[in-house]
Amino acid sequence: MTTVLFLALALAKPPEPQPTPEYVEHWRSQVDWKALGDESVDVLAEYLAVDTVNPPGNEARGAAFLARELAKDRIESKRYVLSEGRESLVARIPGSGDQPPLCLLSHIDVVPAEEERWDQDPLSGARVDGYLYGRGALDMKGMGALELQVLRQLHRQRVPLNRDIVLVAVADEEVDNLGMKQIVEHWDEIGCSHMVNEGGLGIRDALFDGQAVHAISTAEKGVFWVDMIAEGPAGHGSTEDEGEAPGRLLEAMQAVATRKAKPRIEPDMYTLLANIGAHKGGFTGWVLRHRWTVNLLAKGQLMGNSATRATITDTLHLTGMSGANSHNVVPSEVRARYDSRLLPGTTGDEMLAELEHLTRKVDGISFEVFHDQLSNGSPVDDPLFAALSRYAVEGRPYAVAGPVLSVGFTDSIFARPLGVHAYGYVPFEVSEEDANTMHGHNERVSEENVHEGVRRLYSAVVEVSVNPEAREPLPPLPPPPAPEPDKEPRPEDLEGLPEQFAP
């Protein structure tokens, strides 16, 4: 009897996906998806060509670009000035107010690129063989363009919304998160209860060949950045003395390297593995669907892969060393820099105590903390998470979606303490090779993904933001006022914008 039950569980088929709500189909049927997708590709190509590399940022250029696009549909926007040349943007289309607003969040800045190692100009938005190339294609101007286009499409259709939809594009996510920190100070003006941001993505062949896993971030690990400092007597490079700072640092680093990370699987990870297992089927699928079998049979494999290991451990990553300034001078102080990402329930103080314990036998060691942010998350049992999951896999029988604890750091971590349910998911489905271009060389996204992404994001927003009984659009907008005399644009609105895209 036990054997029969075991086989039945092992061969059980995954549950059938729930049908798309009829009201979502109603509003989708009125969209010219080819035209909207083509326009979205054009918008992203132009957006990628705007130089917002951080540092220094110059996000005012990106904010100006977004404002001009919104103005084409008579959607007003507001700028939040961070510093000279650095701005965030907020735009809103109104709903009935029956539900609190929904935020579509992205960041304007992008990381630097090693241009000489790219096949295309990182700031070109070049279209080659069905792909758009440019820094930010995946992180995260691609998502910003989709969010812009969804906002415009809802506005054009005059869809009767039961909540405001708020577009938020912030500066400085990649370095100090100063843009989002500024927006949080004005949250009484924003007022969103839910948010869609980066943090998850669809990856083909992620765990099993032929299966695509769409991970939706419901939580993020905490962030603890610390320098380990070694001090000792300065001296001449020709003579080695005891107690020098470089030798002490090396000894302390070797002690830290003996650290053994203990795995701890969070509930969302169990859920994602169970979803993957239910979709996979067979014995492997059965193992993934049960916590005790995951702990017994799969935990070792999860620890053997750097990506999955990061989701189930408190990591401590050596990211650099500094202090030497000449070959023949022994400095009195040298440093090793560590980036630690912490699971829910682990504090920065606990990681610091662990470091102090590991290095207790080395003289002259101290620590300087630069960043200490606790992990936080949002519930899986939420209509927005359900909608994002539905449209991630809609029409993709080979795909599965589920929650994930993001090992990265996004602006969502600043919104959740305000009570916001924030979920990270960019509705692209990419190969592992393409995913690795994020922050790497030849960052790119396919035009097909842009077409698919805008449809899937639109569908999720409609599902959680439209009265299911509503079928008629709102009355048309009044005609625009008479045009004002031409005004010269602000210099910062044009700076850095390629000539072919200038108004």
- Tell me: the pLDDT tens digits for 99-145? 999 999 999 999 999 999 999 999 999 999 999 999 999 999 999 99
42 — pLDDT class (breaks 50, 70, 90): very high
Dihedrals phi, psi of 376, to nearest 5 degrees: -150, 165
Please report the pLDDT score of residue 6 as a whole number. Answer: 39
Q: Strand 444-446 to strand 131-133: parallel, antiparallel, or no bridges (unpaired)?
A: antiparallel
Give the pLDDT of residue 17.
64
Give dist(CA 422, CA 419) in Å, integer: 9
What tens digit of pLDDT does each residue of 187-230 get?
999 999 999 999 999 999 988 999 999 999 999 999 999 999 99
Q: Token pair 């002690």 is at which residue?
A: 255
pLDDT at 4 over 60: no
The answer, yes or no, to whether residue 499 has pLDDT greater than 70, is no
- Calculate the CA 470 to chain-centre distance: 33
Q: What is the pLDDT of residues 422-452, one digit of tens each?
A: 999 999 999 999 999 999 999 999 999 999 9
Q: Are 202 and 214 in contact (CB under 8 A)?
A: yes
Instruction: Give me the pLDDT at residue 227, please.
Output: 98
pLDDT (0 to 100) of residue 484: 67
Distances from the Cα of 428 to the Cα of 259, 315, 392, 435, angstroms: 37, 28, 9, 10
Tell me what the mean pLDDT of segment 6-19 comes to. 51
Q: Is 182 a residue whose pLDDT tops 50?
A: yes
What angle, 0 to 180 degrees and rounded to 10, lies between the N-to-C axes of helices 447-465 and 383-393? 150
Range 11-19, long-range pairs (CB < 8 A, 24+ positions)? 11/281, 11/282, 12/278, 12/281, 12/286, 13/281, 14/278, 14/279, 14/281, 14/400, 15/278, 17/390, 17/393, 17/394, 18/390
The tokens for 91 are: 């735009």
- Nearest residue to 419 via CA among 215, 217, 201, 188: 188
Length of the chain: 503
**pLDDT value of residue 230:** 98
Instruction: Give the pLDDT band (50/70/90) at residue 493.
Output: low
Confidence band of 458 (pLDDT split at 50, 70, 90): very high
| pLDDT value of position 65 | 98
Whether the link from the prior residue into 56 is cis, omega within 30° of 0, is: yes
Q: Which residues are within 8 A (CB) of 198 and not within 5 positions of it... i.e. 6 or more apart?
A: 106, 107, 139, 140, 143, 410, 424, 426
Q: What structural domains does the chain harbor?
A: 17-218+376-476+490-494 (3.40.630.10), 219-373 (3.30.70.360)
**Percent of the chain clearing pLDDT 90 (strictly above):** 87
pLDDT at 486: 61
pLDDT level of residue 481 (50, 70, 90 thresholds): confident
Please compute the mean of the pLDDT values over residues 69-87 and round it to a whole number. 97
Both structure tokens of 157? 């259709």
CA distance linking residue 314 with residue 297, whole number of Å: 21
* 264-289 mean pLDDT: 93
Per-residue CA distances from 477 to 40, 149, 156, 354, 481 (Å): 23, 19, 9, 62, 12
Give the confidence band of 480 by pLDDT, cuts at 50, 70, 90. confident
Q: Is 151:91 a contact under the CB 8 Å cutoff?
A: yes
Q: What is the model's pTM? A: 0.89
Mean pLDDT across the chain, nearest whole number? 92
Task: List pLDDT tens digits, range 462-479.
Answer: 999 999 999 999 998 888
- Residue closest to 151 by CA, chosen among 206, 211, 209, 91: 91
Residue 9 has pLDDT above 50, yes or no: no
In the three-class reduction of DSSP (H, G, I as helix; E, B as strand; rest coil), residue 433 is classed as helix
Mean pLDDT along residues 406-425? 95
Dihedral (Cα; 207, 210, 216, 221), 10-degree rounding: 20
Q: Is residue 79 classed exposed, middle or buried when 0-12, 13-18 and 19+ CB atoms within 10 A define those classes? A: middle
**pLDDT exceeds cutoff 90 at 178:** yes
Q: What is the mean pLDDT of residues 360-372?
A: 97
Percent of the chain with pLDDT over 70: 92
What's the CA angle centered on 443, arms 442 and 448, to 5 degrees? 115
Q: Which amino acid does the sequence have at 464? A: V
pLDDT at 28: 98
Strand partners, 77: 91
pLDDT for position 3: 42
- CA 49 from chain centre, in angstroms, equals 21
pLDDT (0 to 100) of residue 460: 98
- Cis geometry, peptide bond prior to residue 485 (ω within 30 degrees of 0): no
Q: Can you give the pLDDT at residue 235?
A: 94
Please tell me the distance from the alpha carbon of residue 232 to that of residue 314, in angstroms, as a whole number. 31
- Distance of alpha carbon 154 from alpha carbon 150, whole angstroms: 6
Q: Can the peptide bond before residue 140 be classed as cis, meaning omega within 30 degrees of 0? A: yes
Q: Could you count the other beta carbons within 10 Å of the beta carbon of residue 331?
A: 19
Distance CA 93, CA 474 (A): 13
Q: Is the pLDDT of residue 386 over 80?
A: yes
* Average pLDDT score over residue span 281-285: 93
